[in-house]
Amino acid sequence: MSRAQIWALVSGVGGFGALVAATTSNEWKVTTRASSVITATWVYQGLWMNCAGNALGSFHCRPHFTIFKVAGYIQACRGLMIAAVSLGFFGSIFALFGMKCTKVGGSDKAKAKIACLAGIVFILSGLCSMTGCSLYANKITTEFFDPLFIEQKYELGAALFIGWAGASLCIIGGVIFCFSISDNNKTPRYAYNGATSVMSSRTKYHDGEDFKTTNPSKQFDKNAYV
């Protein structure tokens, strides 16, 4: 098993785990309302729930009750993140089948094709996550720097950075998997010429022996005694 495939598997599976954490997190955008440290209030919003907490330790979450009243960009980000998680799951399975250390997947040529397929799936997963997180972040920054926007303004949450990191890992792992196909196709070819060399040496030996045995007969011909 090559080191490139190990790093690709670790990167892809790690990115898939980060995508799952970002999708289920409620900290896509955050805001703080604080007149003092004691009365500080934090508001978190994610793809599935809105949460609020205060400095006293109370924390409450309320899910989005209906799909039709959710903003369009949130629905788009939901679809992209679900697609990213699904692709990352299938990419992890294909990656395990495409590893050289596993006994499933067929020959080395078939494993190389499966590894390349896993790389493509990981890249698509990373692109979906990158698009979803960037779309959400663009909406937050647009509202934050808009002077005409009078509603509550939010900042970037931790889930966005986790999603970007997971997308980067998936893309890196996918690229490594796609390039590892060249390593799988390089099968060593050994030319064993031992038998040929032995036979040739025996032939030379027998030829020399015949030469030695025939030469004395010519030297001790009957004319030599005359």
pLDDT one digit per residue (tens) for the chain, 226 residues: 567 888 888 899 999 999 999 999 989 998 866 545 555 678 888 899 888 887 777 778 888 777 778 888 999 999 999 999 999 999 999 988 888 777 766 777 888 888 889 999 999 999 999 999 999 999 999 988 888 888 888 889 999 999 999 999 999 999 998 887 765 555 444 444 444 444 444 444 445 444 444 454 445 455 544 4
Query: Is 202 within a domain?
Result: no
The parent domain of residue 132 ranges over 3-27+71-185
Confidence at residue 162, expressed as pLDDT on a 0 to 100 scale: 95
Domain harbouring 77, CATH code: 1.20.140.150
State the total domains in the chain.
1
Q: Which of 114, 116, 77, 119 is nearest to 97 (CA)?
A: 114
For the chain, what's the residue count?
226
- Per the listing, tokens 């099968």 go with 187
- pLDDT, position 103: 72
Which pTM does this prediction carry?
0.74
The answer to whether residue 32 is domain-embedded is no
pLDDT score for 84: 95
| DSSP code of residue 88 | H
Q: Is residue 93 part of a domain?
A: yes
Number of CB atoms found within 10 A of residue 160's CB: 21
- The confidence score (pLDDT) of residue 23 equals 94
Identify the residue whose tokens are 């009365």.
39
* Residue 209 within a domain: no
- Measured between alpha carbons, how far is 83 from 99 in angstroms, rounded to an integer? 24
Q: What is the pLDDT of residue 68?
A: 76
Residue 83 lies in a domain: yes
pLDDT score, position 126: 95
Instruction: List b or e across 11-41, with b for residues whose CB sees 16 or more CB atoms inside 10 angstroms.
Output: bbbbbbebbbebbebbbbbbbeeeeeeeeee
